[in-house]
Amino acid sequence: MHKLTRRSFLVAGGATLALSAAQLNRPRHAHAQTGEINLYSSRHYNTDDALYDGFTEQTGIRVNLIEGSADELLERILSEGANSPADVFMTVDAGRLWRATQEGIFTPVDSAMLTERIPENLRDPDGLWYGFSKRARVIMYNRDRVNPAELSTYEALAEPKWAGRVLIRSSSNIYNQSLVAGMIETNGLEATEDWAAGLVSNFARSPEGNDTAQIRAVAAGLGDVAIANSYYLVRLGKSDDPADQEVFERVGAFFPNQDGRGTHVNISGAGVLSSAPNPDGAIVFLEYLSTPTAQEFFAQGNNEYPVVEGTELEPVLASMGDFVEDEVNVEAYGSNAEAAVQLMDRASWE
């Protein structure tokens, strides 16, 4: 039987990793009997290997991992159609999961275990996908130039006092699109557009680089504050590189909106494909991702927040403190995505 490798990558330029004709045409029941699932994942974290190995040790079901960007993998699933060997699609950002839902690739999963363990706001209302880890999008600040008492909310960063002091990546970034989409859900379109225009007017420079680049720029004094995901700062704090350690010491993390709706959180999540050759194994896999063992892998392996209460945090992440999170259903990040992109464009957010 043809086997997919643990690390098979899509080449740049599209979903061109070919499967043998035998694999595409094999009977579905034969796949189910092999005790394996095919996971299409856009999570590019080597630490997840331990997560999958733990699942195999616990269940005897092997995980064949196929990696690529979310867009590439979704394109591939759609092109493969009913013959797709994929059992599970996993990706980061609820907006991407919503897009996959709109393409009709998922089948509802009715699992008492998942319903009990995964908070309602971190899963699809119809059970099409579930969130298994969280990342908080926080305000990073230069400890020498900003008193955290000056900080309060995302909205406040649009005030004139922050002119020329704000760093953030581009409007094409999915994390920023989801942040804006969540604000639309809570604050409304008009208020969010006013905020975006004010934020853009306060940019210290035109958006460039990823979240880590924003944090480094804050440490270097190119701006005083940045909006970035929490785990990027934790990575720097755990690095053996003295330069990374210096950045970590210079930059603090502030959880905004603690007196109101809470800090914006996003997820990594997964769903079972409607064409899955091994749907039973796929559901077992999703349920496994909600277990204490798997949740600890998420927390310790990639410095993320677990979605199941009681899971121990990674120590550096835990040192940032507890926070109140926004409980808006993350499905809104997808349903408001188009409006968010258009709004950011009108605000001249590059």
CB atoms within 10 A of CB 239: 13
Q: Is 206 helix (H, G, I), strand (E, B) or coil?
A: coil
Q: Which domains are delineated in the chain?
A: 8-134+266-314 (3.40.190.10), 136-264+321-346 (3.40.190.10)
Q: Are the C-beta atoms of 307 and 134 separated by less than 8 Å?
A: yes
For residue 347, report the phi and psi dihedrals to the nearest 5 degrees.
Answer: -80, 0
Residues 309 and 146: their CA atoms lie apart, in Å, by: 33
Residues paired with residue 167 on neighbouring β-strands, in sequence order? 226
Residues 145, 225: Cα–Cα separation, whole Å: 9
Q: CA-based angle 317:322:327, to the nearest 5?
A: 110
Q: What is the pLDDT along the chain (350 residues), one digit of tens a residue?
A: 222 333 333 333 333 333 333 333 333 443 444 699 999 999 877 778 888 999 999 999 999 999 999 999 999 999 999 999 999 999 999 999 999 999 999 999 999 999 999 999 999 999 999 999 999 999 999 999 999 999 999 999 999 999 999 999 999 999 999 999 999 999 999 999 999 999 999 999 999 999 999 999 999 999 999 999 999 999 999 999 999 999 999 999 999 999 999 999 999 999 999 999 999 999 999 999 999 999 998 888 889 999 998 899 999 999 999 999 999 999 999 999 999 999 999 999 99
Strands 88-92 and 8-9 turn out to be unpaired
* pTM across the whole model: 0.87
Cβ pair 181, 336 in contact under 8 A: yes
